[in-house]
A and B are shown apart, each in its own frame.
Chain A
Amino acid sequence: MFDLTGKNALVTGASGGIGGAIAKALHAAGATVALSGTRVEPLEALAAELGERAHVLPCNLSDGEAVDALPKQAVEAMGGVDILVNNAGITRDQLFMRLSDQDWDDVINVNLTSTMRLCRGVMRPMMKARWGRIINIGSIVGATGNPGQVNYAASKAGMVGLTKSIAYEVASRGITANCIAPGFIGTAMTDKLTDDQKSGTLAQIPAGRMGSPEEIAAAVLYLASNEAGYTTGATIHVNGGMAML
């Protein structure tokens, strides 16, 4: 099951904890992967670790033209894009009363607008192939909200509506579009939290622990597979029971 031999996957944010785990899981299942991100060094390191079938495609997702060029670069590097994983995301947390236009725009541009652009960019090759998998990494806060994250939560909730609408339009062409909404996952981002912050959050998680990037990657692997062809427009919540949606 879940054999991705011969499939080409583009993963954004592959320099981060979750993105790296996603790229590794897809690669291990046989896919060729294009690793995108802003920081070249960790991308190169990951590509070296993976060996064959790995390409590095740096991209600044706040630059619209660069984002539009990325799917074309991925097609050139791999020969096609069958699987797109929009995983990159940024936060600019601030209490709403203090939220600046800039912090709103930055988060919406990188998290939501770049997702739209990349989905649009891969649509033509996927339509022609009559096969495609779009997997957008949202967040639990897109469904629950979170104080201090008006911009981030809005961008992640926006992803859900975007994904569902795309799923409607292209379902008849063998293309699925789904979201994964991670809860509290142990990454460099959560390492920065204080012990008090961590224990406060853990108390809200029935599983009693943080999730691992590999547990998000496993959900991505499923959605990327042939076997998931009948799953579309869905959001898979991977959150240890933190919110049962």
Chain B
Amino acid sequence: MSDVADRVKKIVVEHLGVEEDKVTETASFIDDLGADSLDTVELVMAFEEEFGIEIPDDAAETIQTFGDAVKFITEAA
């Protein structure tokens, strides 16, 4: 697994308090990992800080799964 994926996974596990093995490529933050809408905003904020990037609101809306987040951040960073 890439460095980006590891770092994203760490944030997701810490923030949502889920088991690491639940955070799979297709795991949806809301449907599978129990996030509410505010959690998704906080996750995006945490990603921005961790990777020093800006994630615009319209892009943030497309980040639904762990895989989406890794893909977006890999391309943006």
Contacts and interface: CB of A to CB of B under 8 A. Distances in A.
Interface of A: 124, 127, 169-170, 172-173
A169 B38 contact: yes
Q: Is the interface of B mostly helix, strand, loop or mixed?
A: helix
Q: Is the interface of A mostly helix, strand, loop or mixed?
A: helix
Contact of B45 (A124, A169, A170, A172): A124
A157 to B, nearest CB: 26
Given A169-B38, A172-B38, 6 more contacts: A124-B45, A127-B42, A127-B45, A170-B38, A172-B36, A173-B38
A75 B49 CA distance: 17
Interface of B: 36, 38, 42, 45
8 contacts: A124-B45, A127-B42, A127-B45, A169-B38, A170-B38, A172-B36, A172-B38, A173-B38
A124 B49 CA distance: 12
Nearest to A170: B38
Contacts of A172: 36, 38
A165 to B, nearest CB: 13
A162 to B, nearest CB: 17
Contacts of B38: 169-170, 172-173
A173 B15 CA distance: 12
A124 B45 CA distance: 8
Contacts of B42: 127
Nearest to A124: B45
Nearest to A169: B38
For the complex of A and B, list the 8 residue pairs with the smallest distance between their C-beta atoms, beginning with the closest: A127-B42, A124-B45, A169-B38, A173-B38, A172-B38, A170-B38, A127-B45, A172-B36
A123 B3 CA distance: 30
A169 B41 CA distance: 12
A124 B48 CA distance: 12
Contacts of A170: 38
A177 to B, nearest CB: 14
B23 to A, nearest CB: 21
